[in-house]
Amino acid sequence: MINRIEKDINFKNYEIDKKINRAVEFSKVLERVTKNNDLKISAHAAERLKERSINLTEKDIKNLMDAMDKIKNKGGREALILYNDLAFITSVRNNTIITAVDSKSLKDNVFTNIDSAIII
Burial class of residue 24 (count of CB atoms within 10 Å of its CB; 0-12, 13-18, 19+): exposed
Give the range of the structural domain holding residue 50, as residue numbers without chain letter: 2-119
Number of domains in the chain: 1
119 versus 23: the higher-pLDDT residue is 119
pTM of the model: 0.69
Question: Which stretch of 22-31, 68-77, 85-94 has the lowest confidence by average pLDDT?
Answer: 22-31
DSSP secondary structure of 17-72: HHHHHHHHHHHHHHHHHHHHTSSEE-HHHHHHHHHTT----HHHHHHHHHHHHHHH
Q: For residue 10, is pLDDT > 80?
A: no
User: Tens digits of per-residue pLDDT, 106-117?
Assistant: 888 888 999 999
User: Tens digits of per-residue pLDDT, 39-87?
Assistant: 899 999 999 999 998 888 889 999 999 999 999 999 999 999 999 999 9
